[in-house]
Amino acid sequence: MSSDLAPLRGMKDLLPHEWRIAKHIENIALQTGKLYGYDGFGTPILESASVFDRTLGDTSDVVSKEMYCFADKKGRLVALRPEFTASIMRAVISNGLKHKLPLKLFSSGPLFRYDRPQEGRQRQFHQVNFEYIGALGSYSDAETIAFATHFLSNLGILEDITLELNSLGCSETRKSYQTALVAYFKNYLSDLSTDSKQRLEQNPLRILDSKDENDRLISKDAPVISDFYSNEAKEYFKQVRHHLDNLGVNYVINPKLVRGLDYYSHTTFEFTTAKLGAQSTVLAGGRYDGLAQLMGEDEIPAIGFAAGIERLAMICKISLEQERPTYIIPIGNECLDYSILLINQLRKINISAIIEFDGKIGKRLQAAVSAKAKYVIFIGTQELNTNSYKLKDLDTGVEQTVTIAEMLKVVKPCND
């Protein structure tokens, strides 16, 4: 095969069985979201690069290394979206939806990051994403986490997953904590990676997210944010935990769990598993009250989470069978019109049907078997003259001549 016919590195084709699993996960996300009041919402795959530059920050890996950016024909810098949250907040603002808050919004689709491809992480990947824009108070945090738990439970994977929880506190907390981190990491300045040296002065919290193994070792003894909580932050986190306990949601506190972006505050959470090796995070989210301000607006309280469909598919025990069609095999040209009328009638009542015109009967029957058909309907001169059909059950081998009414008692609509 010519190399230019292969997918680009990190871009993966979805074969039919993979596509069905991905859509199954997406549908479970959508249906679970409806229970919590979420509605569908879509944003373009292509955005102005500034939507992400000013919200994710120049020192983030996404902006500095991973964004797919290019100039369009008018010289404007645009980017394939690397995440949903900034796009959705941009859309809420630009569509004048602030007066309709609160909004609970569900999105799904492809995202793009120029990262090293590995199992469960491609350069084009897909997520289900939920944003609660205008979310006020600690209960909204707990409800969002309970919703995420419910979603994973509906996928049948909750027993393999641990919910890790932390709080980033208020702005006062983060300011004090960042000062302490700078003082700590300066003791290891010569040992930090180049990226972390840059982050030290601009946003030291991002060092705690570093993928560099030596940075991770240094970070093990770094101060923890809980030692710097203001009274407000302590009370807020206490209330979140109270609501989670009341909702029966199990969690563990991870004091090193952070979000390096400036607009995050208070609650942050990750659902992790040991079944994905180094890629342990299955679903992650947090409160991001400061995002709208980075876009030049007043503060809009919000919380949300996202989950990678590819990673979920890796640990879901999903085996979805393809819809089993009914095959129609006309025998003789004089039976074609009669056969076409039948297949048209079947499809109108939601019965999956395929017609095979050409080739020997045995070859056409084998095509039906290969497609995992449940039934084959043969139509020859005798059936045409008697206004009947010869129906064969491919599972049992039983063959019978039936009227249309008798056939429809046996051949059922899709998903019936």
Where helices occur in 248-360 by DSSP H, the ranges are 291-294, 309-315, 336-348
Per-residue pLDDT of the chain (416 residues; tens, 9 = 90+): 566 788 889 999 999 888 999 999 999 999 999 999 999 999 999 999 999 887 776 555 555 568 899 999 999 999 999 999 999 999 999 999 999 999 999 999 999 998 888 777 899 999 999 999 999 999 999 999 999 999 999 999 999 899 999 999 988 888 898 899 889 999 888 888 988 888 887 788 888 878 788 988 999 889 999 999 999 999 999 999 999 999 999 999 998 888 767 688 999 999 999 887 766 889 999 999 989 988 889 999 999 999 999 999 998 877 777 788 999 999 989 999 999 999 999 999 999 999 998 889 999 999 999 999 999 999 999 999 999 999 999 999 999 999 999 999 999 887 65
What is the Cα–Cα distance from 382 to 391, expressed in whole angstroms? 13
| Continuous segment of H or E residues that includes residue 125 | strand 124-133
CATH number belonging to the domain at 3-170+230-315, selected among 3.40.50.2300, 1.20.140.10, 3.30.930.10, 3.40.190.10: 3.30.930.10
- In the chain, CATH 3.30.930.10 covers 3-170+230-315
CA dist 298 to 70, 85, 134, 290, Å?
30, 17, 12, 9
- Cβ contact 167:266 at 8 Å: yes
The pTM score is: 0.88
Q: Report the amino acid identity of residue 132.
A: Y
What is the Cα–Cα distance from 283 to 128, expressed in whole angstroms? 10
Residue that the structure tokens 């209330």 belong to: 239
Residue that the structure tokens 């949601």 belong to: 249
C-alpha dihedral sign at 305, 311, 315, 319:
positive
- Upper half-sphere CA count for residue 373 (Cβ side, 13 Å): 28
CA dist 371 to 323, 350, 361, 375, Å?
10, 18, 15, 11
- In the chain, CATH 3.40.50.800 covers 326-410
Report the CATH architecture of 326-410: 3-Layer(aba) Sandwich (3.40)
- Cβ contact 56:63 at 8 Å: yes
C-alpha dihedral sign at 207, 208, 212, 215:
positive
Predicted local confidence at residue 260, as pLDDT? 62
Q: Name the residue among 262, 270, 308, 310 with its Cα closest to residue 286.
A: 270
What is the Cα–Cα distance from 168 to 324, expressed in whole angstroms? 51
| Continuous segment of H or E residues that includes residue 271 | strand 267-272
- Cβ contact 53:10 at 8 Å: no
What is the CA 185 to chain-centroid distance, rounded? Answer: 35
